[in-house]
């Protein structure tokens, strides 16, 4: 399988909504950065019924996508990198996008695994995609998955305008973490080429019209795929996957559903939207580990937290946190100086608001010297 997290490639394309575009205009890093303000969000919808679509002409063109349907939808929001669950894994990330997804992996579960996923991006001249991480929810709480791009995927070249081209060669590696053990899933090599080849007005199903650039993306892995990404300055997005690389680059083509389309970025959500709504202790990463590991946790309100490590005999080995912690996502790194073996990380928390809610959870960790 090319991606562990179902739909994550589409989500990454949706993350490109933050790269504003205008006909024959120049897109700058400052434009992109402004769209990544913490709390901003958008909704990406998917039409699973469409089989053909008109992708327009090269150069000056126009697109009427008013007939697209809403088969399903996901919400993506920009959150602070600091304190997010996989911040230590993707060092150097400047922006993070959060969404709810389903992980399809039949070796673990016959049904999709619900998860909260995070895309980590770096805006430093160009826009780079460092990778993704996901934490299982519900019955899969404690399980996680990480996709790392090495080197980082050059997702969007900046500044960019009509006629801009770029390539990105990288490998994505997927690993799942279940019950304290790392399970390698897959590794896929990519060679992607991009060209901004058309511009003009695009009409969405709600009747709104947006000036967009069309980006043709050709990605070669074990097979070749061709995508067309339509981006507007306000964050509007439509993404189409050609049924085969042999489809023409203009006019009506056969497509591989779903076609995704996204609203303009909404700026009405405050930064506080990234505060978690429940207590959470994430499985440490990496695990097994040497020489150190990161333990992430979250509290929905200001809380008294104790995070401690014990050996299998129940003896205290290290006290990592002991005190009041502000609401939000946090992480701590443990550098053990003990013998190899299995250790237990225990989190105990008491909410310091009138609810006085309590939380306690234990995770196994394996240290290998």
Residues 68 and 98 in one domain: yes
Picking from 130, 79, 90, 139, the residue whose alpha carbon sits closest to that of residue 111 is: 139
The structure's pTM equals: 0.67
Residues 267 and 283 in one domain: no
- Provide the 10 A C-beta neighbour count for residue 23: 17
**One domain for residues 230 and 141:** yes
242: DSSP letter: B
pLDDT per residue over 249-281, tens digit each?
A: 999 999 999 999 987 777 554 434 456 778 988
CATH of the domain at 356: 2.60.40.2360
* 136 and 228 part of one domain: yes
Domain boundary residue, one of 271, 296, 317? 271
Q: Let me know whether 159 and 305 are in one domain.
A: no
Question: For the segment 181-212, what is each residue's pLDDT rounded down to a tens digit?
Answer: 898 888 899 999 999 999 999 899 888 888 88
Residue 183: which residues within 8 A CB-CB, separation 6 or more? 175, 176, 177
pLDDT (mean) for 149-158: 92
- Over residues 8-33, the pLDDT tens digits come to 333 343 333 333 333 356 666 776 77
Q: Could you tell me what percent of the chain has a pLDDT over 90?
A: 47
Domain match, 208 and 285 both: no
Whether residues 101 and 232 fall in one domain: yes
Q: What is the pLDDT of residues 298-309, one digit of tens each?
A: 898 999 999 999
Task: Say how many domains are in the chain.
Answer: 2
Only one residue has tokens 């189409």, namely 240
Q: Measured between alpha carbons, how far is 13 from 205 in angstroms, rounded to an integer?
A: 20
Give one DSSP letter per residue of 106-172, joined into a string.
TTT-SSPEEEEEEEEEEEESEEEEEEEEEEE-GGGTT-EEEEEEEEEEEEE-SSB-TT-EEEEEEEE
Residues 281 and 253 in one domain: no
The domain containing residue 189 runs over which residues? 5-271
The answer on 133 and 243 residing in a single domain is yes
Please tell me whether residues 183 and 285 are part of one structural domain. Answer: no
Boundary (domain end) residue, out of 217, 245, 271: 271
Q: Are residues 314 and 247 in the same domain?
A: no
What pLDDT, in 10s, does the model give residues 61-87?
999 999 998 888 888 889 989 889 999
Same domain, 194 and 293: no
Q: State pLDDT tens for residues 157-185.
A: 988 789 999 999 999 999 988 887 898 88
Of the three residues 221, 248, 271, the one that is the final residue of a domain is 271
How far is it, in rounded angstroms, from Cα 317 to Cα 9? 42
């Amino acid at each position: 399988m090319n991606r562990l997290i179902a739909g994550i490639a589409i989500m990454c394309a949706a993350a490109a909504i933050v790269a504003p575009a205008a006909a024959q205009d120049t897109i700058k890093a400052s434009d992109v950065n402004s769209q990544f303000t913490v709390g901003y969000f958008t909704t990406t919808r998917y039409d699973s019924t469409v089989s053909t679509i008109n992708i327009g002409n090269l150069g000056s063109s126009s697109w009427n996508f008013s007939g697209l349907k809403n088969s399903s939808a996901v919400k993506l929001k920009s959150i602070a990198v600091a304190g997010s669950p996989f911040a230590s894994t993707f060092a150097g990330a400047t922006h993070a996008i959060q969404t709810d997804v389903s992980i399809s992996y039949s070796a673990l579960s016959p049904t999709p695994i619900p998860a909260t996923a995070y895309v980590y991006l770096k805006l430093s001249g160009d826009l780079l995609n460092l990778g993704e991480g996901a934490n299982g929810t519900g019955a899969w709480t404690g399980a996680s998955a990480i996709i790392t791009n090495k080197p980082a995927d050059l997702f969007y070249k900046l500044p960019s305008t009509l006629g801009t081209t770029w390539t990105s060669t990288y490998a994505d590696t997927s690993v799942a973490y279940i019950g304290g053990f790392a399970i390698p899933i897959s590794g896929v090599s990519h060679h992607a080429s991009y060209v901004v080849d058309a511009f003009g007005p695009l009409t969405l199903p709600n009747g709104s019209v947006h000036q967009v650039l069309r980006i043709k993306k050709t990605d070669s892995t074990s097979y070749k795929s061709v995508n067309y990404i339509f981006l507007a300055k306000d964050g509007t997005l439509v993404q189409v996957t050609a049924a085969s690389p042999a489809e023409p680059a203009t006019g009506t083509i056969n497509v591989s559903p779903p076609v995704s389309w996204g609203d303009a970025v909404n700026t009405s959500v405050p930064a506080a939207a990234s505060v978690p709504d429940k207590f959470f202790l994430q499985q440490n990463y990496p695990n097994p580990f040497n020489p150190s590991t990161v333990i992430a946790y979250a509290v929905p309100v200001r809380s008294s937290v104790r995070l401690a490590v014990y050996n299998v005999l129940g003896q205290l080995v290290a006290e990592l946190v002991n005190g009041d912690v502000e609401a939000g996502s946090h992480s701590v790194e443990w550098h053990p100086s003990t013998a190899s073996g299995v250790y237990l990380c225990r989190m105990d928390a008491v909410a310091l608001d009138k609810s006085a809610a309590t939380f306690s959870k234990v995770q196994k960790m394996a240290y290998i010297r």
